Amino acid sequence: MDTFLQQMVNGLTAGSVYAVVALGYTMVYGIIQLINFAHGEVVMIGAMVAFSVINLLVPSGLPPLAIVLIGAGCAVPICMLVGYGMERLAYRPLRHAPRLAPLITAIGVSIILQHIALMIWSRNILAFPQIIPSRSYFIGGAAITTIQIAILAICFMLMASLAILVYRTPLGTAMRATAQNPQVAGLMGIDINRVIAVTFILGAGLGAVAGVLFGTYYGIAQYTMGSVLGLKAFSAAVLGGIGNIPGAMLGGVLLGVVEALGAGYIGDFTDVCAWGVPLAACEGGGTFILFGSNYQDVFAFLVLILVLVFRPQGLLGERVGDRA
């Protein structure tokens, strides 16, 4: 039971970060049906910028919380700029091209961003300075740290404010209108290009915050972190129903929990000794584990493939005839 609760806590934390990243994918997809392949790299750049700023400010003696906030405050506008730049240069000219074309430029942009980051921050794994004092609280046998609480709170706030923005403001209405029918939205006086650019910028801003959270939570950042994180967040978006904002939130949290529980229990479930198979390795309470927790990363992909095969519209998505 302790493992279960602990993995739930860990899964919820990771999942809420996935959810925030997934929002970036889903917003862009909802509006122009493009998988912004480079979104993971935006998250990475967010983490990297924050890393540099935090490292720079640590000797200044400012309070730790302020340092992290300044780090995030620098990461967000830079990522927004990157998001806007890539929409403008790589995606907008191809808006009416065949579907494969913007996908391929997205891959190109992703490689370029990754290697620019490699040039600036080297290929080493960077250790985030652990400046926020971490305390653990115990709830029913599971430990939850201050950082985890902060991440859950920040992600929840971000999601809530995005929901308000999309469903309660004129800008949100314009976004939803553009998603439904860009031509008609244009006829109604909505500047579609502006709305699409704003969508990219918002997604990138969310991604930047997610990058900072991810970096402080796991304590590391590397120029390659964006691709796996991006892929997981994309899986989360598909799980919830791509293009659907509440879906991305649900999908992210679910994926985090599935992954954490999977990693926690796969070893026990694939222990051949526990199945009662008499093996030499099992003598005296030994184990013979087929798949250990090092297969954790496989879960996201399995979820992705299973969802696409059995329920391509995702949990909350609507059935669309000939999408993709």
d(CA 237, CA 66): 32
Kindly tell me which residue out of 6, 7, 16, 114 binds another protein, with binding defined by CB under 8 A.
114
CA proximity to 31, closest of 262, 193, 155:
193
Q: Is 228 in the site for another protein (CB under 8 A)?
A: yes
Alpha helices, DSSP H only, in the chain? 2-32, 39-57, 64-86, 100-121, 146-168, 170-180, 182-187, 192-218, 225-240, 245-269, 296-310
> Between 93 and 219, whose beta carbon lies closer to another protein?
93
Q: Extract the tokens encoding 139.
A: 């709830």
Q: Which stretch binds another protein (CB under 8 A): 50-58, 60-68, 86-94, 202-210?
A: 86-94
Please pick, from the candidates 26, 110, 216, 222, the single residue that binds another protein as defined by CB under 8 A. 110
Best CA proximity match to 152, nearest among 299, 5, 6, 19 = 19
Shortest Å distance, C-beta 314 to another protein? 11
By CB under 8 A, residue 13 contacts another protein: no
Phi and psi at 144, nearest 5°, equal -130, 130
**Which tokens hold the place of 57?**
């400010």
- 56 touching another protein, by CB under 8 A: no
Task: Please say which residue, 92 or 176, places its beta carbon nearer to another protein.
Answer: 92
* Alpha carbon 193 to its chain's center: 25
Is the Cβ of residue 6 or residue 36 nearer to another protein in the bound state? 36
Is residue 46 classed as helix, strand or coil in its secondary structure? helix
The single residue among 93, 160, 161, 320 that binds another protein, judged by CB under 8 A, is 93
274 lies in the site for another protein, by CB under 8 A: no
Q: Which residues bind another protein (CB under 8 A)?
A: 34-35, 89-90, 93-94, 97-105, 107-112, 114-116, 118-119, 227-228, 231, 234-235, 238, 272, 281, 288-292, 294-295, 297-298, 300-302, 304-305, 308-309, 312, 322, 324
